[in-house]
């Protein structure tokens, strides 16, 4: 819809600013109401201004100048405008073109100052944005990746610590590496919205809290983190509980294969479940840590299950 705007002003300001300003408003899709365009000889001054000009106006532009601030008529228009705003939500836009005192009623309203009445392209754009309710606020972008990824935080961990644990654990599971160099997985710090100091601090905290085991070294240059990381059984379990879909069902499936089908090695478990070898190895570590099985690990990553405790069988019965 075309917004209707009433322009309150002193007649002395018509030639030097108001007419050109109102013309530019109309050229930009604003139905600017100016008395010289709307009133003819014999028209009722009060009816025209208050019944046509101010009635249904979306906004009232009050041109404040040395000429207008002393005018009692402008003061009456201002009072009517304020009543209109209170009753109908009309926007009040003061436009200051001189170094004059702003009326008390407008001091709490954001006004637009025009330094040069012959050139007002920039303030005009801001006034048009106000009339059409167009905000110059930039669009919201996506949060940094560490915030998105850490939306589901792991208990007792901050967002950054959760993200660092998740990324290291994912890398370990994907590459079956066991030992992780942080330089390999934190190469895109700007995209992540993190700094190297933040990551280093998080690695230190995760190490002291039992999620990581750290092997430290000296040297290597400023881009190095000075440590190698091994995700502990506890740290990897916390990651799996948070991130691996249907993790509890996967453990139950592996238990059933070991107990009921006598599957006795990690490769067969990985083949039957379709899961990554590193994840299967971790599940076997969990079983062994709970004294449910005994395993032997060989060079090359093979794992042999050589004992299944009776209580494991009883748990599944």
CB of 43 within 8 A of CB of 18?
no
Q: What is the pTM of this model?
A: 0.57
Q: What is the pLDDT of residue 43?
A: 35
Interval 178-188: pLDDT, tens:
999 999 888 88
Name which of 179, 203, 180, 199 is nearest 190 in CA terms.
Answer: 199
CA distance 167 to 144: 14
* Domains 4-131 and 244-316 are alike in CATH topology: no
Q: What is the pLDDT of residue 39?
A: 46
- The CATH number assigned to the domain with range 145-240 reads 1.10.10.10
- 303: β partners: 297
Give backbone dihedrals phi and psi of 60, rounded to 5 degrees, phi first: -120, 120
Q: What CA–CA distances, in Å, run from 41 to 48, 54, 55, 202?
A: 12, 20, 21, 80
Q: What is the pLDDT of residue 78?
A: 63
Name which of 221, 223, 201, 220 is nearest 212 in CA terms.
Answer: 201
Per-residue pLDDT tens digits of the chain, which is 317 residues long: 788 888 888 888 888 999 999 999 999 999 888 876 654 444 334 444 454 556 677 888 888 888 888 777 666 666 666 555 544 667 888 888 988 777 666 666 777 888 888 888 998 998 888 888 877 677 777 766 665 555 566 778 888 899 899 999 999 999 998 999 999 888 888 877 889 999 999 999 999 999 999 999 887 778 888 899 999 999 999 999 988 989 999 999 999 999 999 999 999 999 999 999 999 999 999 999 999 999 999 988 899 999 999 998 888 76
- The CATH number assigned to the domain with range 4-131 reads 3.40.50.10140
Assigned architecture for domain 244-316: Orthogonal Bundle (1.10)
Domains in the chain: boundaries:
4-131, 145-240, 244-316
Q: Determine how β-strand 212-216 pairs with β-strand 112-113.
A: unpaired
Interval 130-141: pLDDT, tens:
888 877 677 777
Q: What is the pLDDT of residue 104?
A: 63
Gyration radius from the chain CA atoms:
37
């Amino acid at each position: 819809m075309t917004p209707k705007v009433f322009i309150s002003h002193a007649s002395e300001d018509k030639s030097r600013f108001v007419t050109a300003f109102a013309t530019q408003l109309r050229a930009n899709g604003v139905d600017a109401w100016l008395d010289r365009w709307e009133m003819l000889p014999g028209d009722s001054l009060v009816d025209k201004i208050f019944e046509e000009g101010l009635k249904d106006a979306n906004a009232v532009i009050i041109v404040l100048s040395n000429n207008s601030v002393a005018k009692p008529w402008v003061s009456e228009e201002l009072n009517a405008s304020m009543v209109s705003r209170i009753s109908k939500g009309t926007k009040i836009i003061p436009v200051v073109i001189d170094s004059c005192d702003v009326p008390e009623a407008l001091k709490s309203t954001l006004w637009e100052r025009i330094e040069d009445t012959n050139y007002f392209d920039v303030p005009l754009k801001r006034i048009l944005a106000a009339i059409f309710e167009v905000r110059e606020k930039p669009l919201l972008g996506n949060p940094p990746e560490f915030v998105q990824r850490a939306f589901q935080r792991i208990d007792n961990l901050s967002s950054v610590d959760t993200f660092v644990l998740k990324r290291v654990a994912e890398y370990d599971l994907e590459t079956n590496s066991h030992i992780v160099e942080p330089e390999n997985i934190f190469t895109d710090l700007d995209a992540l919205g993190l700094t190297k100091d933040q990551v280093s601090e998080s690695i230190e905290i995760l190490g002291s809290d039992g999620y990581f085991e750290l092997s430290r070294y000296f040297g290597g240059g400023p881009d190095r983190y000075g440590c190698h990381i091994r995700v502990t059984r506890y740290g990897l379990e916390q990651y799996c509980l948070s991130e691996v879909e249907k993790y509890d069902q996967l453990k139950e499936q592996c238990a059933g294969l070991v107990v009921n089908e006598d599957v006795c090695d990690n490769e067969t478990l990985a083949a039957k479940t379709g899961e990554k070898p590193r994840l299967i190895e971790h599940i076997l570590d969990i079983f062994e840590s709970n004294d449910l099985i005994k395993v032997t690990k060989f060079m090359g990553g093979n794992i042999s299950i050589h004992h299944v405790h009776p209580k494991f069988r009883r748990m599944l019965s």
